[in-house]
Amino acid sequence: MCLAIPGKIESISGDDPLSRTGKVNFGGILKEACLAYVPEAKVGDYVIVHVGFALSRVDEEEAHKVFAYLKEMEELAELKETCP
């Protein structure tokens, strides 16, 4: 199963709407993402990214909720690995 993850746009490059890309921050990890599907997105916005494509904008509060869920899932996975 693949998940779409929220990230914050740190910078944008390209003038052509179809080839516009951005550096997106996923909790400290910067990745390049295509912004063609979110032409209204700007630096500082949060976007949902799936396989390198930003699919939609999301508000900051919702993005932080997802980060919290992902952290909780990671902690649960670690707990599973350490329990007999």
Chain segment 29-47, per-residue pLDDT in tens: 899 999 999 999 999 999 9
pTM value surpassing 0.75: yes
Q: Name the residue among 33, 28, 40 with its Cα closest to residue 13.
A: 33
On the question of pLDDT at 81 being above 60, the answer is: no
Which domains are present in the chain?
Answer: 5-82 (2.30.30.140)
Residues 5-38: tens digit of each pLDDT: 899 999 999 989 899 999 999 888 899 999 999 9
Determine the Cα–Cα distance for residues 21 and 24; give it in Å rounded to an integer.
9
Angle at 40 between CA 39 and CA 45, to 5 degrees: 115
Residue 84 in this model has a pLDDT that exceeds 60: no
Residue 10: helix, strand or coil by DSSP? strand
pLDDT over 50 at 83, yes or no: no
